[in-house]
Amino acid sequence: MIRVPQKRLLSAAAAVGFAVAGLTVAAAPAASAAPCTDIDVAVARGTGEPGTLGLIVGDPVFSAVQNRLRPRSVSGYRVDYPADLGEPASVQRGNTDLVNHVRSQAAACPQQRFVLAGYSQGANVVDNSIGISSDGAIVGGPIVATIPADLAPRIAAIVLFGNPIRAIGRSVTGTYQSRTKDYCALGDPICQFGGTNILAHLSYGNQADDAAGFVASKV
């Protein structure tokens, strides 16, 4: 079995992702600190992923969720973090920002509920934010903040794609397990130990409608 260094795998994924982005035209949703909508979708993009919420995963998933949940109002938030291989604290910065966003939105909008989405390195960000450590995983890191327990009931659903902790035998357990759908494409080396098909890691936009259906079943 061919084993490829982790950093090379991620660099290849980022490079192919940019190539895909150059050939794709898509309308991206606005992503900023959200108003008091019914549902706020906070998305942590993958390493080097272009797009508003993330061209490969975040943008198509947001659009699908928005369509599925009509007429309820849905806002999007782009987690503010480097998503960079060269930034040692990248995941920790995303972890902090995501938790701060949920806390501030929850305080400002008492009726708002949340959907958390993460792709690749962004899945590590979400993992950490719900108390599942990504330390030891590809582009992972230690937990620096978690969503407070009193806000847990307002996290309606979590969707993860190419989640690196799966390659080291971890998964989302506990409080959020029943509200989480974690996609790992066959052969994806980022989430499947021994996987060698880097193109599988770029295929998750195909799961946007399925993810939206899962979200709809939880809200």
Residue 152 to residue 82: CA distance in whole angstroms: 26
Q: Is 101 considered catalytic here?
A: no
Question: Do 42 and 116 meet the contact criterion of CB atoms below 8 Å apart?
Answer: yes
Residue 125 to residue 5: CA distance in whole angstroms: 22
Residue 77 to residue 59: CA distance in whole angstroms: 11
- Which residue out of 120, 129, 134, 203 is catalytically annotated? 120
Q: Is 201 considered catalytic here?
A: yes
- Which residue out of 40, 127, 201, 203 is catalytically annotated? 201
3-class SS of residue 158 = strand
Angle between helices 121-129 and 90-108 (to 10 degrees): 50
Active site residues: 120, 188, 201
